[in-house]
Structure 1
Amino acid sequence: MREYCRVERDGALTLVTLARPERRNALHVHANEALQEVWDDFAADPDQHVAILTGGPDFFCAGNDLKWQAEGGKVGGVRSGFAGLCYRFDLDKPVIAAVNGIAMGGGFETVLNCDIVIADETARFALPEVRHGMAALAGGVHRLTRTLGRQRAMGICLTGRMVSAAEGRELGFVNEVAPAHEALRVARDWAATLLANGPLALQATKHVALQGLSTADIGVACRTEYWPVQRMKASADYVEGPRAFAEKRKPEWTGR
Structure 2
Amino acid sequence: MHILVAIEGPVTTITLNRPEAMNALNPEMHVQLQHAFDAFAAADDQLVCVITGAGNRAFCAGSDLKAAARSGLPATYPQSGYAGLIERFDCPKPFIAAVNGVALGGGFEIALACDIVIAADVASFGLPEPLVGAVALGGGLHRLARQAPLKQAMGLILASRRATANEALRMGLVNEVVAADQLLEATARWVGDILRASPMALRTSKALVQRGLTEPDVETAMRNQPGYAEFVAWRTSDDAREGPRAFAEKRKPVWKGR
C-alpha separation in 2, matches of 1:207 and 1:108: 23
Per-residue deviation at 1:22? 2.1
C-alpha separation in 2, matches of 1:110 and 1:78: 14
Deviation >3 Å, runs of 4+ = none
1:248 is matched by which residue type in structure 2? K
Q: 1:143 maps to which residue?
A: 143
Q: 1:218 maps to which residue?
A: 218
Q: 1:69 maps to which residue?
A: 68
Q: 2:243 maps to which residue?
A: 241
Q: Which has the higher contact order (CA 8 A, sep 6+)?
A: 1
1:229 is matched by which residue type in structure 2? F
Q: 2:108 maps to which residue?
A: 108
CA contact (8 A) 2:149 2:171 kept: no
Describe the superposition over 1:18-46 as per-residue Cα deviations: whole angstroms up to 9, x where unpaired: 11122111001221111011111111111
> How many percent of aligned residue pairs carry the same amino acid?
46
Q: What TM-score, normalized to structure 2?
A: 0.95
CA contact (8 A) 1:60 1:99 kept: yes
Instruction: Give 5+ residue unaligned stretches, structure 2.
Output: none
Which of 106-115 and 213-222 deviates more?
213-222
Q: What TM-score, normalized to structure 1?
A: 0.96
C-alpha separation in 2, matches of 1:215 and 1:45: 30
CA contact (8 A) 1:57 1:181 kept: no
Number of residue pairs the alignment of both structures matches: 254
Instruction: Give 5+ residue unaligned stretches, structure 1.
Output: none
Per-residue deviation at 1:73? 6.5
2:214 is matched by which residue type in structure 1? S
Which of 70-79 and 24-33 deviates more?
70-79
1:194 is matched by which residue type in structure 2? I
Describe the superposition over 1:189-233 as per-residue Cα deviations: whole angstroms up to 9, x where unpaired: 101100110001000000100111111132221122221221112
Which of 108-117 and 221-230 deviates more?
221-230
Q: 1:129 maps to which residue?
A: 129
Q: 2:23 maps to which residue?
A: 25
1:226 is matched by which residue type in structure 2? Y
2:89 is matched by which residue type in structure 1? F
Q: Quick check: 1:47 aligned with 2:45?
A: yes
